[in-house]
Structures are given as C-alpha cells and as structure tokens.
Structure 1
Amino acid sequence: MPVTASYRAFVLERLQRALPDVRTRDMFGGVGFYAGATFFALIGNDVLYFKVDDHTRRDYEARGMRAFRPFGEGGEVMRYFEVPVEVIEDADTLRQWADAAVQVGRRSKQRPGKRAV
C-alpha cells in the first residue's frame, strides 16, 4: 500500500481545510487519518478512502466507488470506500463527506465488534 509523499501532503492539506484537528499516522505501508481521536480515513496506493456505514455507503456506490480491500480483489472487504476525485477537489463537498466519515467513525466506536461491510 505505498503512498507517495506528494499525494499524502495534498490530501492532508485538503482535509485540514475541511475539518479541524486532522492528523495522520503511518500504518502498514499506508496512512491513517484522524479527526481528534476518531479514525475516519486512510490512503492506500495513493487512493483516499473514507469510513462508511449502511447510510453513507450508497453515496459511494452510486458514483461507482469501490471498497478498500487490503489483500487484493479476493481478500477481505473493509468499511472504507474510495473518495471520488471531484469530492477531494471541491472544498464544500469534501467537508460534508469528511464530516460524515468522522460521524461514522464515532458511531462505530460506540458499537464494538461490527467490522464487516
């Protein structure tokens, strides 16, 4: 899951404009994003993924976005979906989508044990 320094910097800059208190952490070759103590996004192979649940997933699927699969196409599906490039590039839309991902992250912390899509 390599991540280039330029893509990481680009995404971090965009997210810091959208949300307060965004920070990153290296993880398993990728990058994790936190808003405060809430994990809500990750980058793998220079693709940004936001955390989803049953309510937000449909927005991603409607745009043809794919789930994060850390072990390839035949592997486990995680509750993170690709963020469309046009969302990353539009500050207002990015703020809405990022805030929704943070809310999903906060809700999932309250319900331990739910990891499948």
Structure 2
Amino acid sequence: MAISPSFVDHAVDLLSALGPVQARRMFGGVGLYCDGLMFGLLDGDELFLKTDGETRPWFLEAGCRMWIYPGMYETSYYRPPDEAHEDAEAMLPWARLALDAAVRAQAARGAKARAPRRAGAKAR
C-alpha cells in the first residue's frame, strides 16, 4: 500500500523525541531508524514499532495490532495505541520500547558473530 510523504514526515516528527529519526524506503514500505537501528516501519500510512519477548507484553496488554507481512507472515512489529499517534509525548514510551528491542536484537546478532565455532564445525 502506498505511503504518503506527509505521513512519513508526521511519523518522523512524532518519533523525534527519541533522537534523530531517519526514514528509508524499503520493500515497498519505509523503515524507521534511530542511531543506525531499525526500530519501526511504515506501511499504508500506519506506524508499527519493533518488539521482542521483553517488550511485546506491553503492546499486547494495550491491545495493539501486529503487522502481518503480505502473505500472512507474522512479524515482531506492532501498531502503538491510537492515543500515541497524535502526541509525541504519548508516543515516546512506545518508541523507547521499540528502540530497546532493536538494541537487544543487535547485541544478540553481535554475540552470535563472536561465538567461537565448535571443533569440527564447518564454516558456511
């Protein structure tokens, strides 16, 4: 679904209290980045934020809807509560949860890359 430039600007403004937020087009949508980490996405003029096992319960408790990739692929991205979409102060806690999840995901990827290979294991 198309994303209007005005919605991209609105989302970046809404999330700017988190820090410098950049929007980058990708796969027909827009990725939202802060400190080089993707923590959100835009699809069809809707904002979705990254979650993980630690932050997802907050989104579920608030009744947030999961972003499902076309073709029914479930993701870790959820739409924040409606009241957060018009007020940067109300959005900030949700954005922080998303950035925290992105930081943990990056740390986990880094730990995997640094993990020693077992003896006899073949490189991929």
What is the TM-score of this pair, normalised by structure 1?
Answer: 0.84
Give SS of 1:6's match: helix
Q: CA deviation at 1:65?
A: 1.6
Q: CA deviation at 1:89?
A: 2.1
Q: CA deviation at 1:44?
A: 0.6
Which 5+ residue runs of structure 2 have no aligned equivalent? Answer: 110-124
Q: Which has the larger radius of gyration?
A: 2
Matched AA of 2:97? A
Matching of residue 85 in structure 1 with residue 109 in structure 2: no
Q: CA deviation at 1:90?
A: 2.8
Q: CA deviation at 1:102?
A: 0.6
Matched length? 109
Root mean square deviation of aligned Cα: 1.4
The CA deviation string for residues 45-90 of structure 1, in whole angstroms up to 9 with x for no partner, is 1110000012211222122221111114xx1101100122211223
Matching of residue 49 in structure 1 with residue 67 in structure 2: no
Give SS of 1:109's match: helix
Aligned to 1:11: 11
CA–CA distance in structure 1, aligned partners of residues 26 and 69 of structure 2: 12
Matching of residue 65 in structure 1 with residue 64 in structure 2: yes
The structure 1 segments of at least 4 consecutive aligned residues displaced by more than 3 Å after TM superposition are none
Aligned to 2:73: 76
Q: CA deviation at 1:111?
A: 1.6
